[in-house]
Amino acid sequence: MKTVNATEAARKFSEMLDGVEHRGQTYVVTRGGKPVARISPVPAANGRGVKRLLRDHQPDADWPAEVSALRADLPIEEQAWNG
């Protein structure tokens, strides 16, 4: 993990993004010597992970009724359009 100050991050932002995208680097950006942000690769998602998640969590039989109850509790909002 590399540490850069905010000024350097602004000047080298494109170069930093290249490092993140192509080399998996992570940067901690500091301001006044204190860490304020982290720039790192986004975790990749794929169909295998989604399938595993769905397989590991059984369907909730109560979910459709709960959604219907929540929808029934929503107030109807009518607003006049000023146009």
- Structural domain harbouring 29: 2-39
- Asked if residue 45 belongs to a domain, the reply is no
Nearest C-alpha neighbor of 13 from the set 44, 39, 42: 39
DSSP per residue, the chain = -EEEEHHHHHHTHHHHHHHHHHH---EEEEETTEEEEEE-PPPP--HHHHHHHHHHS---TTHHHHHHHHHHHSPP-------
- Asked if residue 77 belongs to a domain, the reply is no
pLDDT tens by residue, 41-74: 998 878 888 898 889 998 899 999 999 999 999 8
Quote the number of domains for the chain: 1
- The CATH code of the domain that includes 35 is 3.40.1620.10
- Asked if residue 21 belongs to a domain, the reply is yes
Q: In terms of pTM, does the model score above 0.95?
A: no
